[in-house]
Amino acid sequence: MLHSALINVMVKAARRAGRSLKHDLNEIEHLQVSLKGPANFVSLADKRAEEILHADLAKARPGYGFVGEEGGAREGTDKSHTWIVDPLDGTTNFLHGIPQFAISIALQREDTIIAGVIYNPGNDELYIAERGKGAFLNDQRLRVAGRRKLDECVIACAMPHIGRGDLELSRREMTAIQSKVAGLRRFGAAALDLAFVAAGRFDGFWERNLQPWDIAAGQIMVREAGGSVSGINGKDDALSTGHVVCGNEFVHGELVKILRAAEG
């Protein structure tokens, strides 16, 4: 399938960084991890992947700014374009050898995300989206699920864990939602949760306290697959608030209602 030059640049970078992550995952699975500990090793894997992404993207599009989870923000001479990159989303899964992790790359032009690529090197699933041109998984056009009955929906969420999140609020939200849906899932990689909504696997997803690089590529993926994405109150912006809720228009609206009520 033919994609734009921009998407080709992003895909090439994602695949090269993916090879690096896959090599490092193999080391983790074979326990050839240094004595300093796996967490340290993973943080090196993360940094290596980000350096590959930065090198490839900067070579192909000199001057674009770059915001990555590991290296912070690097300003470019071209002030209207910025890459927003997570070299390893789903770090805890990666550390445990669970193949639900991904590289997430988005390109922002002025205030708008114009392209996104999410690549899971664990199972070679490649998601791409370009503004106005649709979303694809391994070259198959994506469409969000069409369900309009909440009791048939599978919804993804996050869970506060040690040192992170508001446990009480999360419990109120989960209690309110789990009693109304066919199933709740917590997979632990926000970029892939969004990609799964775009692919119609999940009917919806919400999570709080995310960073722009967790959301940017997944947001355009869901929108280009025909879905709705917003902050928790339904009107604000997921990227700037860091809180996200999405699904088809109906599911998105229902989740917003329930989450707002749970907020109290």
Closest distance to ligand 2AM from the beta carbon of 156 (Å): 10
Site string for Ca ion, 83-102 (x = CB under 5 A): ---x--x-------------
* 212 lies in the binding site for ligand 2AM (CB under 6 A): no
Closest distance to ligand 2AM from the beta carbon of 22 (Å): 17
> Could you tell me how many residues of this chain bind ligand 2AM (CB under 6 A)?
14
* 230 lies in the binding site for ligand 2AM (CB under 6 A): no
DSSP line for the chain: ----HHHHHHHHHHHHHHHHHHHHHHHHHTT---TT-HHHHHHHHHHHHHHHHHHHHHHHSTTEEEEETTTEEE--SEEEEEEEEEEEE-HHHHHTT-S--EEEEEEEETTEEEEEEEEETTTTEEEEEETTTEEEETTEEP-------GGG-EEE----BTTBS-HHHHHHHHHHHHTTSSEEE--S-HHHHHHHHHTTSSSEEEESS--HHHHHHHHHHHHHTT-EEE-TTSSS-HHHHS-EEEESHHHHHHHHHHHHHHH-
User: Residue with the closest Cβ to Ca ion?
Assistant: 89
Q: Which of residues 156-175 bind ligand 2AM (CB under 6 A)?
A: 158, 164
* 207 lies in the binding site for Ca ion (CB under 5 A): no
* 188 lies in the binding site for ligand 2AM (CB under 6 A): yes
Site string for ligand 2AM, 71-110 (x = CB under 6 A): ---------------x--xxx-------------------
* 251 lies in the binding site for ligand 2AM (CB under 6 A): no
* 130 lies in the binding site for ligand 2AM (CB under 6 A): no
* 211 lies in the binding site for ligand 2AM (CB under 6 A): yes
Where do contacts with ligand 2AM occur on this chain (CB under 6 A)?
69, 86, 89-91, 158, 164, 188-190, 207, 210-211, 214
Where do contacts with Ca ion occur on this chain (CB under 5 A)?
86, 89, 214
